[in-house]
Structure 1
Amino acid sequence: MFGVSTYCLHHEPLSLALERLAPITDCVEVMDDGLHYLESAEPLESYSYRYFIHAPSRGVNIASLLDPIRRASVEVLTQSFAVAAEVGADVVIHPGYYAWSAEREQAVERFRQSLSELTLAAADLSVTFFVENMGNWEYFFLRSCDDLPLIDGIGIGLALDVGHANLNGCLDCFLAHPAAHFHLHDNDGTEDTHSPVGDGKIDFSAVMKAVRRSGAIPIVEVETFEGVTASISALAAIDAAGRSE
């Protein structure tokens, strides 16, 4: 099974996006931002999807050295956890960033503090969350495998975004690391285009091997609805070929 992110229909109301996705998947990751921001679980309860939720990321920075911003970011993510708890969804979050290279070590401590607080909140709500590796945005955490100990050491799972890893030239390293969740989209290694599978340079046969090892439901996170349907067809063929080897 392949899940689909509502990112491909983010310009449409969430209810319409969920209706359009029904013929092609039983699993949806809601991009909890913009038109798809979830104030409650009510918009999701009319559908029988297996849900994941990509927590809000606009303006959210759990590694901020400005503690009011860090605390507010943790609160926003905790609210997303509460919605997720109502529909039995796991949650994907971003790791945060620092503004200046000299602030990295301080930001690491803030990041760890936020993860500790989020771990407690998730446990209270019986929710599981994963941290996503970032693209080629300067000063974000988890751009490379070097930052994996920040989450491994406290038992938080990785949401492996293969497009982001490809942009940073470290996809092979990330594929060798156990991941709990996957975002699948393609690019040529220069821009985060969220292109359909096969339109870039990523070797998805290697990606699907890692997905099979994990047992996770991979999420297709492509920019257009048409690109999603094309990607599902391409990935199904790649996966079938890999299983027959």
Structure 2
Amino acid sequence: YAQTFTYAQKIKAEFVVVHTNEGYHGEAAAVKELVYQRLTEVISLAQSYGVQVVIENVGLRPCGSLLFDFEEYLALFERYPQALALLDTGHAHVNGWNIPETVKRLQKKLLAVHVHDNDGSGDSHQPVGLGTIEWEPYFASIRDYAPNALQILEYAYIEPGVLTEHLQKLESRYGALRF
């Protein structure tokens, strides 16, 4: 982590994303305690480098890797007020979270969003509009509660020329957000 934060400092990175877990083995309560301990250490180290840590909502219920549910994820920011949030729309959708409500609850804690679509059964990283996420309420909540949140398109694949056109359509339809 020290090398990561040194490099982030060098390139003047706006933030470093931290995952609480990918998969995990053992009793969830014991794993959560380990994650809390490690987050405390990582956030403290990041602060010593002047680097902002953002915690991403990770884990997928269908895969058995969801360690922190909706309320537990939100509680991380009460426990670690110096950390900010990175919301992954695909993970949230697969896990059944109300994405606009998540944005509303995070508000100024929401620094960035991994924006991508899926059908709710798996994390397929499809372009906006190719899955079943309702995007109008999502973008409305971003405009209302977190207008400065960085929207990061996290797509599995899209042709470069098509991406430019896609981004223009998103900006035209949903407004000038921070993409």
Normalising by structure 2, we get a TM-score of 0.80
Among residues 165, 177, 198, which one is paired with 2:105 in the alignment?
177
Distance 1:134 1:78 in 2: 23
CA deviations over 1:109-152 (Å, ceiling 9, x no partner): 11111111111111111000111112414133334333321333
User: What is the match of residue 166 of structure 1?
Assistant: 93
Aligned length: 164
Superposed, which structure 2 residues align to 1:28-67 within 5 Å? none
User: Which consecutive unaligned segments of at least 5 residues does structure 2 have?
Assistant: none
User: What is the match of residue 134 of structure 2?
Assistant: 203
User: What is the match of residue 75 of structure 2?
Assistant: 149
Distance 1:86 1:241 in 2: 30
Letter paired with 1:190: S
Letter paired with 1:232: L
2:170 is the counterpart of 1:235: yes
CA deviations over 1:205-242 (Å, ceiling 9, x no partner): 22223333321221010111326435413321232399
User: What is the match of residue 35 of structure 2?
Assistant: 111
Q: Assess if the C-alpha contact under 8 Å between 1:157 and 1:180 holds in 2.
A: yes
Q: What RMSD over aligned residues (CA atoms) do the two structures have, in Å?
A: 2.2
Identity of aligned residues (%): 29
User: What is the match of residue 93 of structure 1?
Assistant: 18
Q: Against the structure 1 CA distance between its residues 99 and 126, is the aligned structure 2 distance closer, same or farther, given a 3 Å change threshold?
A: same
Q: Against the structure 1 CA distance between its residues 82 and 225, is the aligned structure 2 distance closer, same or farther, given a 3 Å change threshold?
A: farther
> In terms of Rg, which structure is larger?
1
SS at match of 2:35: helix
Distance 1:131 1:241 in 2: 25
Distance 1:236 1:115 in 2: 35
SS at match of 2:150: coil
SS at match of 1:176: helix
User: What is the match of residue 131 of structure 1?
Assistant: 55
User: Which consecutive unaligned segments of at least 5 residues does structure 1 have?
Assistant: 1-76
What is the Cα deviation at residue 164 of structure 1? Answer: 0.8
Distance 1:228 1:158 in 2: 26
The runs of at least 4 aligned residues of structure 1 exceeding 3 Å deviation read: 227-231
User: What is the match of residue 121 of structure 1?
Assistant: 45
Q: Against the structure 1 CA distance between its residues 211 and 83, is the aligned structure 2 distance closer, same or farther, given a 3 Å change threshold?
A: farther
Distance 2:8 2:138 in 1: 27
Q: Assess if the C-alpha contact under 8 Å between 2:118 and 2:131 holds in 1.
A: yes
Distance 2:36 2:73 in 1: 12
User: What is the match of residue 140 of structure 1?
Assistant: 66
Q: Which stretch shows the higher mean deviation, 132-141 or 214-223?
A: 132-141
